[in-house]
Amino acid sequence: MKNKKFLFLLICVLAIIVVLLFYIVKNFNSTDKSITQEIIPEEEISENQLRETIVTLYFLDKESNTLKSEGKLIDSASLIQNPYKELVNLLIQGPKSQNLASVFPENTQILDAYIKNNCVTLDFSEELLNFENEDQKYNIVNSILNTLAQLNEVNSIEFLINTEKSDVFSDTFTHWQTLNNIVI
């Protein structure tokens, strides 16, 4: 009698184990299928979107008369040829925010830009000399310094007007000299 009870109990335990194994295998297979399903994005990312990057540009805040940063999404391919000239062109074009303003005199153009010994030389059209006062000159220099300082290789800038040194911008300006005076 004890043997029959033991055998019956053993069969019940084995039946429970088989049912549990069946349940586990069934759930594992159904979970496995959901893992291998292909996920399709709602919108494909274009090649242009993959190349986009955000640059920080510094413009004059109309209310506080200090420099403020503004991010701009651009195609990083535009920075490959001459990043210094491209960033200064973006500064000249001006901000998108209505509260900010470009620091450059009207019709200013960047003619060339190149780097040597961590100093970026910027060649501007003569319109750059049409700044109204020393505050505007200071803001021009700091707008450029803070914008170009995002590039690790840039430590200072030098100005040319139509390929010649100008008495007005005769100094070489370093980012660290003027950084403390900027409100970011």
Q: What is the DSSP string of 47-90?
A: HHHHTEEEEEEEEEETTT-SEEEEEEEEETTHHHH-HHHHHHHH
Token readout for 120 is 């970026």
pLDDT surpassing 70 at residue 44: no
73 within some domain: yes
Residue 145 and residue 114 in contact, taking contact as beta carbons nearer than 8 Å? no
Q: What pLDDT does 184 receive? A: 30
Tell me the CB-side half-sphere exposure of residue 16, using CA atoms within 13 A: 6
Average pLDDT over residues 130-141: 91
139 within some domain: yes
6 within some domain: no
Range of the domain at 102: 48-181
Q: Which helix (DSSP H) or strand (DSSP E) does residue 167 occupy?
A: none
Q: What pLDDT does 81 receive? A: 86
Stronger pLDDT, 157 or 173, i.e. the higher one: 157
Stronger pLDDT, 12 or 126, i.e. the higher one: 126
Of 139, 52, 54, the closest CA to residue 100 belongs to: 139
No. of helices (H) and no. of strands (E), the chain: 6, 7
Alpha carbons 138 and 50: distance in angstroms, whole number:
37
pLDDT surpassing 60 at residue 7: yes
pLDDT (tens digit, 9 = 90+) per residue, 16-26? 887 777 777 77
35 within some domain: no
CA Rg value for the chain: 33
Stronger pLDDT, 79 or 64, i.e. the higher one: 64
Structural domains counted in the chain: 1
Stronger pLDDT, 2 or 114, i.e. the higher one: 114
Alpha carbons 11 and 5: distance in angstroms, whole number:
10
| Amino acid identity, position 175 | H
Looking at residue 176, the DSSP 8-state letter turns out to be H
13 within some domain: no
147 within some domain: yes
Q: What pLDDT does 181 receive? A: 38
Q: What pLDDT does 180 receive? A: 39
92 within some domain: yes
Q: Average pLDDT of the chain? A: 82
116 within some domain: yes
Q: What pLDDT does 63 receive? A: 92
* pLDDT above 90 as % of the chain: 47
Stronger pLDDT, 70 or 79, i.e. the higher one: 70
Average pLDDT over residues 115-130: 93
Confidence of residue 46 (pLDDT cuts 50, 70, 90): low
Of 84, 82, 80, 170, the closest CA to residue 129 belongs to: 170
pLDDT surpassing 80 at residue 35: no
pLDDT (tens digit, 9 = 90+) per residue, 50-72? 678 889 999 999 999 999 999 99
